[in-house]
Structure 1
Amino acid sequence: MITIIGAGPVGCYAASLLAEDFEVTVFEEHKTIGLPVQCTGIVTQEIYRYVPKRNNFVINKTRDVRIFSSNGKHLKLKLEKPDLVINRTRFDNYFYRKAKKQGVKFVFNHRFIAVKRNNALIKDLKSGKIKKIKFSYLIGADGPRSEVAKSTGITRKRKYFVGLQTIVKKKNSNIIDFYPLKHGFAWAVPENKSKLRVGVALSTNPQGCNKILKKLLRKYKGKVIERQGGLIPIFNPMAGIRKNNIFLTGDSAGFVKATTGGGLVQGLKSAEILAHTINNNLSYEAGIYLHLFPSLLLHLKTRNIMDSFSAKDWNQLIKELNTKESKKALQKVNRDKLFQLLFKVAINKPELIKHGLKHVRSLF
């Protein structure tokens, strides 16, 4: 029997892939799938590797992106393929229904506590009783604060971005605004032509999030109709992802891009790797290192360089990228394929290699 902790899209996807050969039960501490929302909900076309193009959760598409430097100047791009804005509750429910169709059992209002031998100790939040659930495999898909990770000692200490997001009622031009920050990033993402998702995430000085968010809200004047918040794990190549027959996947394993905090595509990919591992008795670590690790490591190293940039560096970089050749390269490759993106920019703008080498010490 396989026990999965967490009924987010990654946990549900892993469950659906494993249900053909195993009895799978998913435990979720919340009452409802997809709530509370703790996600900006912007993804690239890579998501269509995992979901059909005809769906009810892609609620907006946009090709227009602006990347701002601290002096207010910006780089404007028109992407070859539009970014997608999703409704996370509907998105999560798609994977829930997919797993249910495969015969996966779901138990809500139950919180994982610990592991004792090959038993998961799980608390019924209604009755307060602790249940012993025997498992052959235990999968932690329980998010950034993963209790499976902590209680089993797979990984205890993790670094995070602290994220704050507001939903603002405001007419807009359907443009994504991205603000690279030292130790973080900020954004304004159009949910539709009358709503924006405005937010910020920082890995240091989380108190500074409020200050930056207030500044952004002064820029994007409108009525705040909802506030959200949460932690975004920062990928750590040295962190554990498995201990015997206990596995971590998705946010629980820290499989998130350190440049932008996005992790849906990476999480779903990790679920595929995990299911293939268990179904075929293979090495999970080998699968992750081969298919996911290189990309995540590149995003981490790029984040290290970004954090070493001064305001002057960012201003200069945006200026240098604001050429026809560089913009053409940037517009063709999505950000889930960072190596291709950096390579194309370097080919079209070789002087940027010198600019990057100035900060190469930040990689180590």
Structure 2
Amino acid sequence: MVLGGAAALNGYLLTALANGTGHVGYGLALQKTIVLVGTMLVIGVVLWARTLMPLWSVGLFYGIGVLLGVDPHGLLAGGNPWKFAFAVPVTVIALSIAMARRSRGLELATLVVLSALSMVSDARSGLAVLVLTTVLVIWQMRPTSHTRRGSTVRVLLGLLLLSAVAYNVGQLLIVDGALGEATQQRTIAQINTSGSLILGGRPELAATASLMQHYPFGFGSGTYVDSSQLLVAKQGMQSINYDPNNGYVDNFMFGTGFELHSVFGDLWANHGVAGLALWIALLWYTLRGLGHSVAGRSARALPIYLAIATLWSLFFSPWYGSATLLIPVIGMTLLERARDDTKAVSS
């Protein structure tokens, strides 16, 4: 909460410092501040809800709320409704129901069905998240001959290795046409462009790196891009053989402020160093909650899915869309501090 407030204030400070350039809008700053502060406050609501109802109920009602807010006629949803509109809320609802039944088998069956839907919907990242979730659920079901708790660090290192394996195997399967011809052609084109599926699919990372090199303190939540900043961003994208002279870059990424298609990039550009500190905190609490619960074999499919999807979003998805995941993952996986009632002093 403190870091969120500091990031909001820093966004306004950077905007005020850039006011002399004429490329600022305090209405834009207010809009982005509302999204940031609102996200922090709703995380608190989820934490409060955990004291009143089981975790699966929190997930179920949260998922229903998100689903009711979906616009099926939106620009992106119209082209691929499952990938861009319904995947996250339906997954949260389905895994919440499976969690209520306390059945690992039902969780696995649900994950298989959801993975199939993602496979036929050209949802590459969504499919990868579901596959990793499935593997971690299965891993917790393995027999053990001792009762010693697993290491959180070992779990996270294992997850890193598993992600690398899944990335390489998944890339091979896609290139071989396992997810259909359209996905195959798009993936091959992205690899041929930059030499990497990640950079080819997320050229915004190159723009972010170039901007950070020239403007390390960010820009401000109400600051619009000027011609020199736009040139720096495009030069970064050109360095990976991506042609940035298109409507996506000019209108979406830099048409109304800075939209760098990652929580990392958006928090840095709009809220500066304080935004980066907030990003580090979000990353830390997500990793800590996931590693602790999986090491103790107490993690259910729902919080695992939310954590892995959030880790992806922190690096590769825009802030305004990632808030839907950040809210429940922090609110539902934040570890409860042990209470020492022996320190209580009676009057």
The TM-score, its normalising length taken from structure 1, stands at 0.27
Q: Which has the higher helix share?
A: 2
Q: Which structure carries more strand by proportion?
A: 1
